[in-house]
Structure 1
Amino acid sequence: MSLILSRRALVLGAAASLAGCDRLAKKEAVREALFSAENFHKWAQRGLMARDAMAREFRPDQISPFFRPNGTANPNTPEYKALWRNGFADWRLRVGGLVERPLALSLAQLHAFPHREQITRHDCVEGWSAIGKWRGVALKRILDAARLRDGARYIVFRCADDMGDGRGYYESIDLIDAFHPQTILAFALNDEPLRVANGAPLRLRVERQLGYKQAKYLMGIEALASLEGIGGGKGGYWEDRAGYDWYAGI
């Protein structure tokens, strides 16, 4: 029988490993940083598992018959509809921030990069899951092409969905997840180009985190030293508006 290490079990196991750290934990600043729910979860997962540990991959016969869209099913803005009508020929993924070589990549240019395929499970915070086959470009390849500067610590994703407030959906991850081999910019699902409902023309797949981290309708990527100036400063749309954890590892 395979062992499934749940989020709860991971945290409880990490707690047991801290038995010898009680003197350090008595210091208020250390305690607040270490034992906040989000920081402790992040520390626990990364402390007990290898940084390059892979999310489970599935067989083709395990692919879900229908991959339910998460979040918005269509940005439906004039700008997005114009891109869609033209088959995204005029769309560009802009890569900037703390990089030595800013990029503006077309879909054709992304297709020219080496691809990765992976069959993984999407776990939504709403309680549903679906298994799909994704094809895309490892985010690492794009960041290497842009050449990150030394001060970069986070990668922020900007999306075409304005979420009704004109600000646009945004998410972020740190460099550990950005350079993970299963973190890809996906342009195909189940051997077909992404449908609008699933994030066309390009979406993030960061397979070791929950669904709201999988930003859809990508328009831009920024490498930054801090998340303080992004939205409300918590690193993501739902983190700022609904108090979701920034680190949503599973």
Structure 2
Amino acid sequence: MITRRKLITGAAIGAGGLLSGCDALNRNPLFQDILASAETANFVVQRTLGDRMELASEYRMADLSPTFRANGTRDPASPEYDASAAQGFADWRLRLTGLFRKPQQFSLAAVQSLPQRTQITRHDCVEGWSAIGQWTGVPLKILLDLGQLQDKARFLVFHCADRLGGRPYYESIDLLDGFHPQTILAHRLNGSPLPVANGAPLRLRVERQLGYKHAKYVTGIEAVASLAGIGEGKGGYWQDVAGYAWYAGI
């Protein structure tokens, strides 16, 4: 049972552990139990009481941060990525796989030719910093409609070109966030092509969630019925290795 005391403790310890990056605390079984309980409560409250189609706050050009800080991988630095970057990502492919009726792939040019959305939003990092940036990209809904999700699809897994600690990086969201109007695959930041450090050529922007959910260097979207067979089954790289919450709604 999730008690009020457990929720308060989970929020306090969770914030302290994640913001400080304390590995020992993150590996503690009791801490993991508290995190899981707090995450479940957060998910239930957000989904039950909140309007998940409500837009995140959008800002003006005058509000843009002087620089948009890069976090996590700043360059995949693999031979394949470097070769693609050298030719302006002309050979980049975004693949729709898994539970789509029409699995397919898109070049970067094809993604850019689809209807686009531009939004100025605030990126909130679990480490405690924020930045405001202007993002342009294709609404994820358009790609999902083109791929035609099967009825049993429940989650979207984003596969990425970078690796951390020898592991492929991945992240996932559910369909409600996938169809949110501000969820886009961005290829431009502040009016310019997305820099390598910020996830070129494509990164996920899921504006109602914390920054670690915004996967960079996206190469594929896999529709699945369950996250159990992906990585360690927790829904993302940081969830697998450090116990981060799968649901990071804000």
With normalisation by structure 2, the TM-score equals: 0.85
Q: CA deviation at 1:51?
A: 2.3
Supply the distance in 2 between the matched residues of 1:223 and 1:152 (Cα, whole angstroms): 6
Percentage of matched positions with identical amino acids: 63
Q: Which residue of 1 aligns with 2:214?
A: 214
- 1:225 and 2:225 are equivalent in the alignment: yes
Moved over 2 A (4+): none
Question: Is 1:70–1:211's contact at 8 Å kept on the other side of the alignment?
Answer: no
Supply the distance in 2 between the matched residues of 1:237 and 1:118 (Cα, whole angstroms): 27
- 1:135 and 2:146 are equivalent in the alignment: no
Could you say what secondary structure the match of 1:176 adopts? helix
Could you say what secondary structure the match of 1:120 adopts? strand
Supply the distance in 2 between the matched residues of 1:147 and 1:122 (Cα, whole angstroms): 30
Question: Is 1:113–1:137's contact at 8 Å kept on the other side of the alignment?
Answer: yes
Q: CA deviation at 1:41?
A: 0.3
Q: Within 5 A, what are the aligned runs for 1:28-43?
A: 36-43=37-44
Supply the distance in 2 between the matched residues of 1:118 and 1:164 (Cα, whole angstroms): 33
With normalisation by structure 1, the TM-score equals: 0.85
Summarize deviations over 1:142-187 as a string: whole Å, max 9, x none. Answer: 000000000000000000001130x310000000000000000000
Q: CA deviation at 1:96?
A: 0.8
Question: Is 1:121–1:130's contact at 8 Å kept on the other side of the alignment?
Answer: yes
Supply the distance in 2 between the matched residues of 1:210 and 1:220 (Cα, whole angstroms): 21
Summarize deviations over 1:31-66 as a string: whole Å, max 9, x none. Answer: x9xx92111101112222112111110111000010
Q: CA deviation at 1:220?
A: 0.6
Which 5+ residue runs of structure 1 have no aligned equivalent? 1-10, 13-31
Summarize deviations over 1:118-154 as a string: whole Å, max 9, x none. Answer: 0000001111100000000000100000000000000
Q: Which residue of 1 aligns with 2:173?
A: 173
Q: Which residue of 1 aligns with 2:18?
A: none
Question: Is 1:171–1:215's contact at 8 Å kept on the other side of the alignment?
Answer: yes
Q: Which residue of 2 aligns with 1:50?
A: 51
Q: Which amino acid aligns with 2:169?
A: Y
Could you say what secondary structure the match of 1:79 adopts? helix
Q: Which amino acid aligns with 1:219?
A: T
Q: Which amino acid aligns with 1:69?
A: A
Q: Which amino acid aligns with 2:151?
A: D
Supply the distance in 2 between the matched residues of 1:233 and 1:104 (Cα, whole angstroms): 25
Q: CA deviation at 1:90?
A: 0.7
Which 5+ residue runs of structure 2 have no aligned equivalent? 1-6, 9-32
Q: Which residue of 1 aligns with 2:82?
A: 81
Supply the distance in 1 between the matched residues of 2:211 and 2:125 (Cα, whole angstroms): 5
Q: Which residue of 2 aligns with 1:152?
A: 153
